[in-house]
Amino acid sequence: MPKRRRRWSKRGKIQLLSLFVVAVGGYVLFTSRPAQAPHHPRPPHTTRTRLPWRSSRLNQVLPGDVLIADSYNHRILIVNAQKRIVWQFPQPGHRPNHPFARPDDAFFGPHFDEIVTNEEDYQVVSIINLRQRRIVWQYGHFGKAGSDHGYLDYPDDAFLYWRNGHGLIAVADIRNDRILTINRATHQIVRQYGQTRVDVANPPVSYAAPNGDFPAPHGGMLVTQIGGQDVVRLNHQGHVLWKLRLPYFYPSDANLTPHGNVIVAFYTNPGRIIKISRGGKILWQYHFASGPRALNKPSLAMQLPNGNILATDDHNDRVVVINPKTKRIVWQYGHRGVPGKAPGYLNVPDGADWLPAGITPGAKNPVGHHLWSYPGNGY
């Protein structure tokens, strides 16, 4: 029996044409790729809105919790957007299981189950188990500076990585003019950038007082030099990809924004924060000489996924969130210029990190949700 030819009505032809356009459009949509897609931390896989840890609602200004190194109070806090302390180390009334004082920075480990902190004035790096609230690893000799194996001299910005089945700790050893990578299991230095005690800004041969070593794409690193007044982008082998001279004195903890620019604080009074392109163009600047918006020795600024800037205003005893469009402080924890230990107060908060909504600290979360997570970098 011969097949009947299907006759298409005018309406059917229009529907068929519409399907063809949708199909072609879908092909273009899913096969086209932007030249350089901005990096954002990958949110946890979910079909419903996730709330920040121990929060009852979302906050559009601060879409997560804040980890704070409350240095002169000798403690580390997690504070939610409602300004409530939801975790702290050590717990009130409890003595740490190892000597612990003046945490200068604090960053979550790759799985958010640990915190790595550098006790800068006391020459050690410590890893704290969040669930147990115990120090489970240390490098350095508490209260004793040095440059020999096992010693540090003013360690800064310690980061904990998980690579190829190994825990690795990177730390900027300021007064020893070097950046170290330490094997967690063996306590051995597996890589060193710079020459010990050679205070010359000539990367990659030598570094001058490096105080920042933030994660960068493809296993690289972004180094801040106090002595060089610059930032240096290294690849995973320690080779210099580019170097950027900064326009102001005493840069601190430079890191990359999602679009590949550099955001950096300047540890001065009054303080300053800038976003700057690799070519040296200042894209945004926050600086007030006086008044409630003025900063006093800020040591760290980072761009949140919503575009706001989270910063430590160290010697104003507060952590702030800045709206970059209005240049107004839209959230703060602490009271400007009033040190204290009661709820709502800080005393020289020198470090901070961001806890995304949907992440439970202390649990074994997947790698890849940090502000500086990049594919394959173990963070």
Q: Domain 61-356: which topology?
A: Neuraminidase (2.120.10)
Return the higher-pLDDT residue of 99 and 35.
Answer: 99
Q: Which of 188-192, 229-233, 374-378 is the least confident region?
A: 374-378
Pick the closest to residue 310 from 82, 174, 300 (CA basis): 300
Reference 76, options 98, 107, 55, 99; nearest CA is: 107
Map out the domains of the chain as residue ranges.
61-356
Residue 5 above 50 pLDDT? no
Cβ-based neighbour number of residue 158 at 10 Å: 29
- Three-state DSSP at 339 gives coil
pLDDT of res. 281: 98
State yes or no: pLDDT of 78 exceeds 70: yes
Report how far residue 190's alpha carbon sits from residue 168's, in angstroms, rounded to the nearest whole number. 9
Q: Say what the pLDDT of residue 226 is.
A: 98
| Closest by CA position to 136, among listed 162, 173, 163, 109 | 109
344-355: average pLDDT: 98
Between 163 and 172, whose confidence is greater? 172
Q: With beta carbons less than 8 A apart as the criterion, state whether 54 and 76 touch.
A: no
What average pLDDT is seen over the chain? Answer: 89
φ and ψ at residue 13, rounded to 5 degrees: -65, -40
Cα–Cα distance for residue pair 315/339, rounded to 1 Å = 9
Q: Is the pLDDT of residue 379 over 90?
A: no
pLDDT of residue 48: 56
